A and B are shown apart, each in its own frame.
Chain A
Amino acid sequence: MANLNLILGAVITGILTGGVYALMSSGLTLIFGVMEIINIAQGALVILGAYLSYWLQANYHVDLLVGLLITMPIMFFLGLLIEIVFIRPLKLNRTMLSILVTFAIAMIIEGVLTNRVGANYVELNAWYVDASFKIGNFYLPYIYVFGFLLSVFLLSCLYLLLYRTKFGYSLRASMQNRTAAELIGIDIERVSAITFGIGVALAAAGGVAFGATNLFNPASHYDLISRLLVIIVLGGLGSLRGALVASIAMLVIGDVTAVVWSPVWSSTIFFIILVAVLVIRPQGLFGQPEGRKQ
């Protein structure tokens, strides 16, 4: 029988890892909000970010968190590149095509990684990965806390960007109404490209936190993207608040299920909750109900 301590521990871990998932999924939901496309490559980009950090750390002994100062800008530009070259040309049928395009990009990333580093599982290393500190009755791994703090920090930066800068204003306007935003002089294409870049940069950061707490290999992106998709749909496509709430809720429920029932079901419960919520509320927790034309 699970005791209260274990459950409490699961809740705390769930919140901490939920923060990391919030970081990864916020990029995804942001991209959808502005561009109305679903970036299936987000999972692969997280893994790519994780591998970049791994490479920096293994070869140049750059600490994981410090390495972000390098990987995030690189990934940002990669995001810009992807958007401009592969997404911008899509005119008709953007939703469907963007799904296929981003899936193709994910495959290419997976292929390149498999080719370069092989299919073996690796994990990111740092002094704080295996160490933990004691609080009350629990041993909290440092990395969970660091990962959570990283998420909080970056999400706060994102918040400031969205609500306190001119660019953020353009971004929010584009999310609300593309046509109207264009009419008041906002360069939608530029906003889209930069948003995509931001989404990918956030993926890089998520990659560090994810890679330090999970064994991963190039094929890990399937499982990851499926979770991220579930989270953003549950939270409501385009809603950052929704991504945050859904991430934490899902991870807490998943971890508690693992403790109370069995780890085997913690993934399944993810999806079942999604389906249950969508039956009652098809737009997700914080999403807009499907608008009717006119």
Chain B
Amino acid sequence: MSLLEVQNVSKAFGGIQALNTCSLGVEQGSISGLIGPNGSGKTTLFNVITGYEKVDTGTIRFSTQTITNAKPDNVFRLGIGRTFQLTRIFPRLTVMENMHVAAQREGARALLSRWSSTHEQKRALDLLDFVGLTQLKEMPAANLSYGQKKLLEFAFVLIAEPQVILLDEPAGGINPTLIHQVAERIRTLNKSGVTFLVVEHNMEFVMGLCEKITVMHRGATIAEGTPQEVRTNPAVLEAYLGD
């Protein structure tokens, strides 16, 4: 049974059918890839899973719960984190403050106490260390370079210890050394049990990292399999080259 399952989801924006009976399954503990030409609906699928958009039809299941049309904060609290194609961090907050936004606390009283408890601070520092940003912890996030912002976003999604992380183009716009570091970190986290679903255009990155790849085209999944299988699938080649 998949940890995250999308069943026959459709979503239209005005006249454009962004998702067309799209189905997808993500196995627990896997690193899965999601590829497809521009406009195939990958980001929309992410938006729909994380509650930023509502579906027209279909269901989305996470573990034993149905999360179709759930609100973004609920989805996050259930254990699904996500990054954005155009990295979204909090520019006027410091790196450390950025890390703490996602740290979860229970109860109203907890909200009124200081924004960083000892435990949270330790965790934040560990994660900043993991992505190599420790020195910059007091810097306003706006002053970070693009690559550093991407790593920050990755780090603060992790602070809530999600079970699944949806990565939207983690390798986009950064240099090869950094891409390699990102892949390493994904593998490290995966070994400790985090499931990943990665959208990427960088084929080398995806094929090298993911065990299973799903291909989308025009809002629907057209192929699924190991990197090798997908690479040689004629339908996939046509989707990329045919239009």
Check whether chain A touches chain B (CB < 8 angstroms).
yes
With a CB–CB cut-off of 8 A, which chain B residues contact A293? 86, 88
User: B90 on the interface (CB 8 Å rule)?
Assistant: no
User: A294 on the interface (CB 8 Å rule)?
Assistant: yes
**Closest partner residue, chain B, to A292 (CB atom):** B52
Give the A-B contact count at a CB cut-off of 8 A: 10
User: B43 on the interface (CB 8 Å rule)?
Assistant: yes
User: B17 on the interface (CB 8 Å rule)?
Assistant: no
Question: Which residues of chain A from 272 to 294 have any CB-CB distance to chain B below 8 Å in the complex?
Answer: 292-294
Question: Which residues of chain A from 128 to 159 have any CB-CB distance to chain B below 8 Å in the complex?
Answer: none
User: B85 on the interface (CB 8 Å rule)?
Assistant: yes
**Closest partner residue, chain B, to A293 (CB atom):** B88
Measured in the bound complex, the distance between the Cα atoms of B48 and A245 in whole Å is: 35
**Closest partner residue, chain A, to B84 (CB atom):** A294
User: B134 on the interface (CB 8 Å rule)?
Assistant: no
Tell me how far the C-beta of A70 lies from the nearest C-beta in chain B, rounded to whole angstroms: 46
**Interface size classification for chain A:** under 10
Main secondary structure of the interface of A (DSSP, over half): loop
Measured in the bound complex, the distance between the Cα atoms of B52 and A294 in whole Å is: 10
Measured in the bound complex, the distance between the Cα atoms of B168 and A293 in whole Å is: 14
User: B47 on the interface (CB 8 Å rule)?
Assistant: yes
Question: Which residues of chain B from 75 to 99 have any CB-CB distance to chain A below 8 Å in the complex?
Answer: 84-86, 88
With a CB–CB cut-off of 8 A, which chain B residues contact A292? 47, 52-53
Measured in the bound complex, the distance between the Cα atoms of B86 and A292 in whole Å is: 13
With a CB–CB cut-off of 8 A, which chain A residues contact B43? 294
Tell me how far the C-beta of A292 lies from the nearest C-beta in chain B, rounded to whole angstroms: 6
Tell me how far the C-beta of B99 lies from the nearest C-beta in chain A, rounded to whole angstroms: 21
Measured in the bound complex, the distance between the Cα atoms of B53 and A292 in whole Å is: 9
Measured in the bound complex, the distance between the Cα atoms of B166 and A294 in whole Å is: 15
Tell me how far the C-beta of B69 lies from the nearest C-beta in chain A, rounded to whole angstroms: 15
Tell me how far the C-beta of B157 lies from the nearest C-beta in chain A, rounded to whole angstroms: 16
With a CB–CB cut-off of 8 A, which chain B residues contact A294? 43, 47, 84-86
Measured in the bound complex, the distance between the Cα atoms of B86 and A42 in whole Å is: 37
Measured in the bound complex, the distance between the Cα atoms of B53 and A293 in whole Å is: 11
Tell me how far the C-beta of B2 lies from the nearest C-beta in chain A, rounded to whole angstroms: 26
List 10 interface pairs A-B (beta carbons < 8 Å), by A numbering: A292-B47, A292-B52, A292-B53, A293-B86, A293-B88, A294-B43, A294-B47, A294-B84, A294-B85, A294-B86
A-binding residues in B (CB < 8 A) = 43, 47, 52-53, 84-86, 88
Known contacts A294-B43, A294-B84; 5 additional CB pairs below 8 A are A292-B52, A292-B53, A293-B86, A294-B85, A294-B86
